[in-house]
Amino acid sequence: MRTFADSKGREWHIDLTVGEIKRIRSRLGVDLLCLLEGDPPLVNRLRDDLELILNLVYAAIEPQAEAAGVDDIEFGQSLDGPTAAAAIEAMWGAVLDFFRPLRLEVAAAAERVMILRQLAAQMLAEADAEQAAGLGEPSTEPQEPLALTPTG
């Protein structure tokens, strides 16, 4: 089970089970059991589409949210940048936890997303520190997206 808190200090738990995955598929039409399928693969869509992954987070915690009287609008309003990042990290962690004993290739894809997110956060923090110290200028060059699958 993975946990995160929103900006109001409410704690949410994501624990994927087959039943939860079916409920999410029914609600969103997103089938986590087919993470590597599609064009582009679902794992890439979730990585690249912030709204989709945050809708997935809400669907995963929806029973808790309903019990707490929190609808999707209020939940969205309680996610600022840092708490949205924590929610997304918890979602990917739950995906990894679910698939690790079942399908190693899916777990590996989820783990790559988590590693890429951590590297990106580290690079941004280092760039911010350099800029604050007057050592560097913010880059204006477009960056290539990081690939989830090996090339070549």
Per the confidence metrics, is the pTM higher than 0.75?
no
pLDDT for 136 = 56
User: Rounded to whole angstroms, how far apart are CA atoms 41 and 147?
Assistant: 12
CA distance 12 to 57: 10
How far is it, in rounded angstroms, from Cα 57 to Cα 53?
6
Q: What whole-number distance in Å separates Cα of residue 12 and Cα of residue 16?
A: 13
SS3 state of residue 2: strand
Q: What residue ranges do the domains of the chain occupy?
A: 2-122
- pLDDT score at 142: 54
pLDDT value at residue 133: 77
Residue 79 — φ and ψ, nearest 5°?
-110, 110
pLDDT tens for each residue of the chain, 152 residues long: 999 999 999 999 999 999 999 999 999 999 998 888 889 989 889 988 999 999 999 999 999 999 999 999 999 999 999 999 999 999 989 998 888 777 677 767 777 777 777 777 777 777 777 777 776 555 555 555 545 544 44
